[in-house]
Amino acid sequence: MAGNSYGNLFKLTTFGESHGEALGGSIDGCPPGIALDFEAIQMEMERRKPGQSSIVTQRKEADEVQFLSGIFEGKTTGTPIGFIIPNTNQKSDDYAHIKDSYRPSHADYVYEKKYGIRDYRGGGRSSARETACRVVAGAIAKQVIANVKINAFVSSVGEIFIDKPYQDLDFSKIESNPVRCPDEATASKMEDYIKEIKKQGDTVGGTITCVIQNVPIGLGEPVFNKLHAELGKAMLSINAVKGFEFGSGFCGAKMRGSEHNDLYNADGTTKTNLSGGIQGGISNGMDIYFRIAFKPVATLIQKQEALTTSGEIIESQGKGRHDPCVVPRAVPIVEAMAALVLADFYLLNKIYQ
Amino acid sequence: MAGNSYGNLFKLTTFGESHGEALGGSIDGCPPGIALDFEAIQMEMERRKPGQSSIVTQRKEADEVQFLSGIFEGKTTGTPIGFIIPNTNQKSDDYAHIKDSYRPSHADYVYEKKYGIRDYRGGGRSSARETACRVVAGAIAKQVIANVKINAFVSSVGEIFIDKPYQDLDFSKIESNPVRCPDEATASKMEDYIKEIKKQGDTVGGTITCVIQNVPIGLGEPVFNKLHAELGKAMLSINAVKGFEFGSGFCGAKMRGSEHNDLYNADGTTKTNLSGGIQGGISNGMDIYFRIAFKPVATLIQKQEALTTSGEIIESQGKGRHDPCVVPRAVPIVEAMAALVLADFYLLNKIYQ
Amino acid sequence: MAGNSYGNLFKLTTFGESHGEALGGSIDGCPPGIALDFEAIQMEMERRKPGQSSIVTQRKEADEVQFLSGIFEGKTTGTPIGFIIPNTNQKSDDYAHIKDSYRPSHADYVYEKKYGIRDYRGGGRSSARETACRVVAGAIAKQVIANVKINAFVSSVGEIFIDKPYQDLDFSKIESNPVRCPDEATASKMEDYIKEIKKQGDTVGGTITCVIQNVPIGLGEPVFNKLHAELGKAMLSINAVKGFEFGSGFCGAKMRGSEHNDLYNADGTTKTNLSGGIQGGISNGMDIYFRIAFKPVATLIQKQEALTTSGEIIESQGKGRHDPCVVPRAVPIVEAMAALVLADFYLLNKIYQ
Amino acid sequence: MAGNSYGNLFKLTTFGESHGEALGGSIDGCPPGIALDFEAIQMEMERRKPGQSSIVTQRKEADEVQFLSGIFEGKTTGTPIGFIIPNTNQKSDDYAHIKDSYRPSHADYVYEKKYGIRDYRGGGRSSARETACRVVAGAIAKQVIANVKINAFVSSVGEIFIDKPYQDLDFSKIESNPVRCPDEATASKMEDYIKEIKKQGDTVGGTITCVIQNVPIGLGEPVFNKLHAELGKAMLSINAVKGFEFGSGFCGAKMRGSEHNDLYNADGTTKTNLSGGIQGGISNGMDIYFRIAFKPVATLIQKQEALTTSGEIIESQGKGRHDPCVVPRAVPIVEAMAALVLADFYLLNKIYQ
């Protein structure tokens, strides 16, 4: 209820604040007998962690996951996989200046109003550091649905965007640049722009597109738990996300039915795919694709107004090491959440077989 | 798990196909002692039902809700509120022509693949008729959170859209026209356009904007069950929805942090509200607003290709009485789902008090 | 949360008071493609309903279930099975005398304290009439786990009990007498005793034993959702139940490990079965058996003290048509709940296959 | 679903095997602002841990809980409380002899059949060591419902039992002897008997009685989630439990209604309390009391037959340091589970206020 679990049959439960001793969690319901690829898990952690390049925050965090249970001789046993990620580089003094104030567009204010108490160190539970646990679980979920291919990438930064359909992109290029944009010319422009923004102590938003291929037909439950509704919830639960659209998305709202309907081929595939691989909440075997909007990071290395706990407006300035643009580091998080959603529906679907 | 329930503390569970004997469901967790306004409930049903005007389907459905339990002497008792909505006007023969074929961009194909069986009469469970139950529960949820004001309206149809911020609109005008668009000039253009589309046997998409006012601070659970993530899921679970954005939405992804941050007033309100009333997944007391994209209805009164169950492509044409544009009738459904989400978080929040 | 649903993958949600218009509910997650045996369902309803014999209440209730959804051409479709059971014979005036008083050992008092309001007609939601919905769902659950054999029977009434192990009983005799006791000599004594008790306007308790055979190995989840823990909860949720024991039960607490351990045969079966077919919360393929204690019915056709809502002690006497002993009619309810538990775990176990 | 969580609003999720690196878990939904008494938590851990006296196992386990999140400056923050309990004294070689065999009345066999894989070291997840996490959470739950008094004690060992109603016992004596029996004369007999049993390399069962006082009226949800049904499930989920009865329990099944009904006093309390403090699944403010049966520990320090994984019957003998009687150490576990159940319903009840 309190919202620190995701999924039903493949269920992730997490805990941890940015500046406590450790983050961690458990994965309940992972099928037994899977020989885990631990390198693949750690590689996803590396993709998310700070300090990878000059365009992301220079904080150093080891982000090493320690598995504590549920694995025996390298294989999952069917019992819960417990894990922790120690916080090794928390500098709480960086945050002393925010103890008595609420930063604009952060969660400080609402946490204090909701709970009557707040761990003011670096955002506490509302810090995006929490997503490290999602990446661990997502990396395992990917191994549960091994045939499914999930590729997320940065499709826009500010006003700069990839002007091609995803079919024309080479996903193997995603990791070839620090922006995680598979179109190299666009990536280069984005990188320059982020550096410029960073120099100004400002931040910028962007979008991520995610393409999921090789999905079996039949995933998703109609009515309230439609596949795209769960994907939407999963994506909207990621820090800084403001919007989600799949298939034709907001453009589809401008179209006519005669343009929008996806006509069938004789084999049940469709000639077009404005549906985005989902009909009535159930996967139809075509590519699933969706786009997610991220707002600009709220912490600026500029002066801006803040509200004190005693009700005064003061000037404040972000310290520490923050991301000028969050989307490059959010790519593995998007993939992780997609994998969690799919693994859950994949297991549920076994009941119909 | 199978996805026919929504909510936790205020939980709606539904059943029913478009052409069975009745739809129905139950609401579990409604607080006791509420003197229900039954007229208000029936009024919401009237807003959703077909045949209200010349721009929506001319099917006649009584859509009368019968309450079977949970209410004693006009008041809720704390026990589950069971209800049914009889199907009085199902013409199953209208659908005989789709028994052996899969209509493009409908759920026929995936239901048959998922379940190995399909109630082919009018979409069965995937019919938007299912949303009648949501409207019943939403109308009760509105009474649980009586101080909260929820107003949804049609903000665009095809390329025609309201070119004003919601603050400049008079919500009391929403019901003054069949499109449910509070801007009368725009409403009139939309109405003409829908009639034109209908004449062609075609359909068109649109968007709905929803504004929620007077929300207490503190609703929503951080991390996975963020308030906007649940709103997003709720909206994406409505038939034909392709996208959801709140606050600055997709536009926010193009902005800089220095433009996007909502600076505080001394009383904790904010000068701007690009956040859309939610910070870190928790309501901050400002207006919550979001926008939802609906694709064009898939059933056309034109010839188009369909796939037969034996794998042939045939020509097919929708019969019956279908909506040329779904958004006017979707307005009360959007409000109902918003009310369900808010009532659930509202009850949960009592635990912190 | 409010407790009107049972199960996860095979989930029953119910509503309805004893003297409202109807009881009803829905079953979510029933696998598709099952050709339902409706006679078998109605037969279970007949076993539970009042008025079957001279030793149970003479109330007449039709108890006819009407299915509203989830079934097409006689087969389950995978969508929720909605149903209602109209209340045809509610005599609310029978209960006018309890409007202003709390009957001893009934739920009147706690309902009013918990909810601040109470439907005083015949117990409202706390009436055992609610179990009619469980029987509907249980009868369908039995068809989901068609190979599993569930037999419940009355093993004691007051001090009269069957003095044989269940292995020596002929379950085909259960329905041969109104007590539902398969040992005819004991059944006859029980029947006489219940008639004697009834004549006195008194009531008496009893126990039911349930034996489940042909259970696949592997049902049940270790730790919190052990198979016997769920069976225990399911049984304790039946009206009037005061205790649950399985396998060696309370006798096992007096034994030594060297007596109690079930030694293996080479094929994995065990020589004894004090474990009751469950090890570590997981079925081991041996017979599951358990015993349930029912208190005597609280409504007496004798004068006894009651508390008025204004705090006075008065003399009161039950009217209407009540059971002198509830266990004969509880037999199908026990079987229904056992079937619900097993069907849920059976579906969950498919994930491991 | 996979059963490693307990509760809804106050939800414990656990992980960990007896011989892995650590046990642990998280508590989601603990109300914010509670100044935790850490000594009280550790004291409960001490009560459960092995090696406390000569009548329990001599294994040494530090059982020190490390909190990783959800607590700031000594107070709960409303975010999940993550914790681990490192396994410091696991001697895996003690268990090498069971790698290729299934011990009678253990969970070895069913784990391997269910999951196709098994962590054979000391029972893995099925070890009672898992209950250490329950004790951590229960100790915190006790602080959430600080006014409620929960006292469990050993009421019988083998054939030796306390022959007094609980009202005649002095609960402050429970911790005065290693058996945790508040009646000193009986405690002394029990202790001698357990020592005798231990000398023989045998084990013995017993019962625990639990009394809960000062419970507010109104806890528990009628129908499926009755207060006693949840208590029963919670108790039956503890390792080695075979039965649960509350109030009059199995004795109540022999009684007449005229004896069993609890007549009211004018203040709403009852003259007798055969109901055990619960009516219709809802607490009525009287003492809640129940009794739980534990089977004898399955591991004997005697030769007995076991089944090998290749299907042979061999002679085997338990090694290591095992409990001759589990009930003294189970007392804090029973209290912990009772506290978890009550805290969950206590929070849920706030919704009605």
Residue with tokens 């209960």: C95
Q: Tell me: the pLDDT tens digits for B209-249? A: 999 999 999 999 999 999 999 999 999 999 999 999 999 99
Lowest-confidence segment of A346-350, D48-52, D136-140 by average pLDDT: D48-52
CB-nearest to B9 from D29, D78, D351 is D351
| Mutation target vs D (from A17, A88, A110; most D CBs, 10 A cutoff) | A17
C78/A352 Cβ within 8 A:
yes
Q: Tell me: the pLDDT tens digits for D80-137? A: 999 999 998 666 566 677 788 999 999 999 999 999 998 888 778 999 999 999 999 9
The predicted structure's pLDDT at residue D252: 98
Residue with tokens 């117990």: C123
The predicted structure's pLDDT at residue C94: 62
List, as ranges, residues 234-273 from B with C-beta within 8 Å of A. Answer: 234, 236-237, 239, 242-250, 252-268, 270
Q: Tell me: the pLDDT tens digits for B89-130? A: 666 566 677 788 999 999 999 999 999 998 888 778 999 999
| Mutation target vs A (from C351, C352, C353; most A CBs, 10 A cutoff) | C351
CA distance A192 to B154: 40
- Name which residue leads in pLDDT, C116 or C96: C116
Going by pLDDT thresholds of 50, 70 and 90, the confidence category of residue D352 is: confident
Tokens representing A133 are: 């646990």
Residue A353 confidence (pLDDT) above 80: no
The predicted structure's pLDDT at residue B212: 98
Q: Does D29 touch chain B (CB under 8 A)?
A: yes
The predicted structure's pLDDT at residue D93: 61
A243/B104 Cβ within 8 A:
no
The predicted structure's pLDDT at residue C52: 81
Going by pLDDT thresholds of 50, 70 and 90, the confidence category of residue B320 is: low
The predicted structure's pLDDT at residue C19: 87
Distance between B339 CA and the closest CA of chain A, angstroms: 15
Lowest-confidence segment of A302-311, B215-224, B286-295 by average pLDDT: A302-311
The predicted structure's pLDDT at residue C93: 61
Distance between D144 CA and the closest CA of chain B, angstroms: 12
| Mutation target vs D (from C115, C264, C273; most D CBs, 10 A cutoff) | C264
3-state secondary structure chain D: CCCCEECCCCEEEEECCCCCCEEEEEEECCCCCCECCHHHHHHHHHHHCCCCCCCCCCCCCCCCCEECCCEECCEECCCCEEEEEECCCCCHHHHHHHCCEECCCCCHHHHHHHHCCCCCHHHHHHCHHHHHHHHHHHHHHHHHCCCCEEEEEEEEECCEECCCCHHHCCHHHHHHCCCCCCCHHHHHHHHHHHHHHHHCCCCECEEEEEEEECCCCCCCCCHHHCHHHHHHHHHHCCCCEEEEEECCHHHHCCCEHHHHCCCECCCCCECCCCCCCEECCEECCCCEEEEEEECCCCCCCCEEEEEECCCCEEEEECCCCCCCCCHHHHHHHHHHHHHHHHHHHHHHHHHHC
In chain D, pLDDT over 70 holds for what percent of residues? 96
* Residue C207 marked as a ligand binder: no
Q: Tell me: the pLDDT tens digits for B47-90? A: 998 878 877 776 666 789 999 999 999 999 999 999 999 998 66
Average pLDDT in the B248-277 region? 98
3-state secondary structure of A96: helix
Q: Does B348 touch chain A (CB under 8 A)?
A: yes
Q: Tell me: the pLDDT tens digits for C333-352? A: 999 999 999 999 999 999 87
List, as ranges, residues 306-335 from B with C-beta within 8 Å of A. Answer: 306-307, 311-313
CA distance A137 to A67: 11
Q: Does D101 touch chain C (CB under 8 A)?
A: no
Residue A90 confidence (pLDDT) above 90: no
Which CATH number does the domain housing residue D312 bear? 3.60.150.10
The predicted structure's pLDDT at residue A32: 96
Residue with tokens 């679980």: A137
Identify the closest residue of chain A to C347 by CA–CA distance: A351
Other Cβ atoms less than 10 A from the Cβ of A75: the count is 16
Lowest-confidence segment of A94-108, D242-256, D301-315 by average pLDDT: A94-108
The predicted structure's pLDDT at residue B206: 98
Tokens representing A267 are: 């084999």
Q: Does A9 touch chain D (CB under 8 A)?
A: yes
Q: Does A92 touch chain D (CB under 8 A)?
A: no
Residue D320 confidence (pLDDT) above 70: no
The predicted structure's pLDDT at residue B89: 67
Average pLDDT, chain D: 94
Going by pLDDT thresholds of 50, 70 and 90, the confidence category of residue A232 is: very high
* Phi, psi angles (nearest 5°) of residue A214: 70, 35
* Phi, psi angles (nearest 5°) of residue C230: -70, -40
ipTM of the complex: 0.97
Going by pLDDT thresholds of 50, 70 and 90, the confidence category of residue C57 is: confident
Number of domains in chain B: 1
The predicted structure's pLDDT at residue B92: 57
In chain C, pLDDT over 70 holds for what percent of residues? 96
CB C311 within 8 A of CB D267: yes
Average pLDDT in the D282-288 region? 98
Identify the closest residue of chain A to D78 by CA–CA distance: A115
Residue D215 confidence (pLDDT) above 80: yes
- The H or E element spanning position A186 is helix A184-199
* Pair type for strands D5-6 and A278-279: unpaired
Residue D340 confidence (pLDDT) above 80: yes
Q: Tell me: the pLDDT tens digits for C206-254? A: 999 999 999 999 999 999 999 999 999 999 999 999 999 999 999 999 9
Going by pLDDT thresholds of 50, 70 and 90, the confidence category of residue D292 is: very high
Amino acid at B241: V
The predicted structure's pLDDT at residue B51: 78
Looking at chain B, list the stretches that DSSP marks H as alpha helix, in order from N- to C-terminal side. Answer: 38-48, 108-115, 131-144, 184-199, 227-236, 249-252, 257-260, 327-349
- What angle do the packed helices A38-48 and A327-349 form, to 10 degrees? 140
CA distance A130 to A5: 12
Going by pLDDT thresholds of 50, 70 and 90, the confidence category of residue D270 is: very high
List, as ranges, residues 207-226 from C with C-beta within 8 Å of A. Answer: 222
Identify the closest residue of chain D to C323 by CA–CA distance: D257
CA distance A228 to A341: 10
Domain ranges, residue D120: 5-352
Average pLDDT in the C52-81 region? 88
Amino acid at B100: D
Going by pLDDT thresholds of 50, 70 and 90, the confidence category of residue C86 is: very high
Angle at C62 between CA C59 and CA C66, to 5 degrees: 150
Going by pLDDT thresholds of 50, 70 and 90, the confidence category of residue A33 is: very high
- Detail the residues of A annotated as belonging to a binding site: 48, 125-127, 239-240, 280, 295-299, 321
Instruction: List chain D residues with CB under 8 Å of B1.
Output: 1
CA distance D316 to C316: 65
3-state secondary structure of A204: strand
Q: Tell me: the pLDDT tens digits for C246-276? A: 999 999 999 999 999 999 999 999 999 999 9
Give the N- to C-terminal CA distance of chain A in Å, as an integer: 31
Cα distances (Å, whole numbers) of residue D46 to A294, D83, D129, D155: 49, 17, 13, 21
CA distance D30 to B122: 47
The predicted structure's pLDDT at residue A93: 61
Tokens representing A112 are: 């204090």
3-state secondary structure of B156: strand
* Phi, psi angles (nearest 5°) of residue D318: -60, 135
Q: A342, A27, A291, A325: which is closest to A158 by C-alpha?
A: A325
CB B282 within 8 A of CB B220: yes
CA A17 from centroid of its chain's CA atoms: 17
